[in-house]
Amino acid sequence: MEINIGETHIRLTTDLKSHSLEDYIYSIRADLKSHIAHNQDFLHSMKPLKPKTDDLSPIVERMYESSDLCDVGPMACVAGTVSELSLDYLISCGSKNSIVENGGDIAVINSRTVLCGIFSNNPVLGNDIAFKIKKRHKPLGICTSSGKMGHSISFGLSDSVTVISKSPSIADGLATRIANGVNGEDSQERVYSGLETADDYDDLFEGVLIVCGGNVATMGRLPDIVETSDFDLKI
């Protein structure tokens, strides 16, 4: 199932036969747009901000919190936060197995093993590998940032940086923050720089995968990486 509302592009797999996720997404997007209308700095800042009021909607509050933890602007966390709140909504409706993918930022709870493709468009790594996510009963976030693909702003040179965290909102912010740190004279130096950045936030994630040129690096605990069929995304 696909849900497309403005900048939100959801691909959904769920065990629920009926739900009102589309209506829920409309409501949280309305809350976010209302906050931005009165706080333009929230939209444009590339650094964490302090909220001017305690009366915040769940999506706005989560974005403030995650951006503060990850040292990025609030909008760097928006896609992962939408995925996270959408998954929370489905869980509240009784879901045990749902995958919410929003522009490459994934929130998942799975009652069976699932594969999550790793798309880096890297000539060495290719696009025919995936994380093998064993069944689990708690939500997980898998979010990716790139200095070469997609619409998000990145100040780094990575092919891809994928972060796995218990919070998809934090995973989104950290993917941006770590990808921003992937810089240097060559791909090896860039990867080392990205690892140094990731090390500053190791209490917030379970694992990080950095792909840059001919170098691949990991930190923390990642799911098994397995070979799968090649896939292509319309970017």
Angle at 229 between CA 79 and CA 209, to 5 degrees: 45
At 227 the pLDDT is 81
- Quick check: 122 and 102 in contact, CB under 8 A? no
At 152 the pLDDT is 56
Cα–Cα distance, 135 to 200 (Å, whole number): 29
133-158 pLDDT tens trace: 999 889 999 999 885 554 555 556 77
At 156 the three-state DSSP class reads: coil
Average pLDDT over residues 19-27: 97
Closest CA to 211 of 185, 178, 234: 178
Judged against a pLDDT cut of 60, whether residue 234 lies above it is answered with no
Residue 211, in any domain of the structure? yes
At 233 the pLDDT is 46
End-to-end CA distance of the chain: 19
Closest CA to 220 of 155, 174, 159, 157: 174
Residue 10, in any domain of the structure? yes
- Quick check: 210 and 217 in contact, CB under 8 A? yes
Residue 48, in any domain of the structure? yes
Judged against a pLDDT cut of 80, whether residue 4 lies above it is answered with yes
Residue 233, in any domain of the structure? no
- Quick check: 148 and 211 in contact, CB under 8 A? no
Closest CA to 168 of 77, 74, 64, 103: 77
Please state, rounded to an integer, the average pLDDT across all residues of the chain.
90
Residue 34: give its domain's CATH number: 3.10.520.10
Within 13 Å of residue 72, how many CA atoms lie on the same side as its CB?
A: 29
In the chain, the number of structural domains is 1
Paired with 163 in beta bridges are: 143, 208
Residue 107, in any domain of the structure? yes
- The residue ranking higher by pLDDT, 95 or 227, is 95
Cα–Cα distance, 58 to 63 (Å, whole number): 9
Residue 232, in any domain of the structure? no
Residue 21's pLDDT band (boundaries 50, 70, 90)? very high
Residue 120's pLDDT band (boundaries 50, 70, 90)? low
Looking at residue 43, its amino acid is L
Cα–Cα distance, 144 to 110 (Å, whole number): 20
Judged against a pLDDT cut of 80, whether residue 24 lies above it is answered with yes
At 124 the pLDDT is 66
- The residue ranking higher by pLDDT, 118 or 235, is 118
Judged against a pLDDT cut of 50, whether residue 235 lies above it is answered with no
User: In terms of residue numbers, what domain contains 110?
Assistant: 2-227
Residue 100, in any domain of the structure? yes
168-217 pLDDT tens trace: 999 999 999 999 999 888 889 999 999 999 999 999 999 999 998 888 89
Residue 116, in any domain of the structure? yes
Q: Which residues contact 22 (CB under 8 A, 6 or more apart)?
A: 3, 5
Judged against a pLDDT cut of 50, whether residue 111 lies above it is answered with yes
